[in-house]
Amino acid sequence: MFDACIQQRRLDEQLFVNFPEPAETFVEVISDGTSIISDLTITPTNTAGCSRVRFTQTIPLQVVAQNANGDPVVGTTQVVLNQDLLMRVPRDSLVPAEVSVTTNVSGFLGSLEDNILTITLCTTIIVRIVADVDIVINTCGFINLPPCNNYSEDVCSAAFAMPIYPTR
């Protein structure tokens, strides 16, 4: 992990919920921690090592309600957020850095009418910049990979001169 940040937001939402059968009484909202990232753009800035990280974050939710008989009914909906963050993103390496998002959403006070859920959601969002790297634990650093001894002409020297792992 090269960088991470946390956001805690209160969201006042009106969400259309897809229920498999009519639902009358709202019970709770459940999230499983996943988010879908789309429209990701990473733009280097003038701040050393930092980049502007923009993406659309879609958070799938399950909505638990009760039908007219008091039986539980589970529906689905989603919350869409636009993120625009300044984060440390390594550049110029063979192993690319990736954006990872973990989300927790809770909502217990809401009202349901005609499949429209009006609710206040409490969200905690953790955004990470990560890359797969090999680390030697006893030296607390990146492993030194010895070069292979294959024969080839020197036509790729510029590409092969790039660091294997992202720099901090």
Q: Is 19 helix (H, G, I), strand (E, B) or coil?
A: coil
Q: Is 4 helix (H, G, I), strand (E, B) or coil?
A: strand
For residue 14, the tally of other CB atoms under 10 A from its CB is 10
Task: Match 């492993």 to its residue by tokens.
Answer: 143
pLDDT per residue as tens digits for the range 80-99? 999 998 888 887 778 888 99
pLDDT (0 to 100) of residue 92:
76
pLDDT (0 to 100) of residue 62:
96
pLDDT (0 to 100) of residue 149:
45
Task: Match 């092969």 to its residue by tokens.
Answer: 160
Which residues in the chain show pLDDT less than 70?
135-165, 168
Sign (positive or negative) of CA dihedral 150, 154, 159, 162: positive
Cα–Cα distance, 130 to 105 (Å, whole number): 23
**Can you give the pTM of this predicted structure?**
0.76
Cα distances from 51 to residues 93, 100, 132, in angstroms, run 15, 15, 19
pLDDT (0 to 100) of residue 65:
96
pLDDT (0 to 100) of residue 156:
54
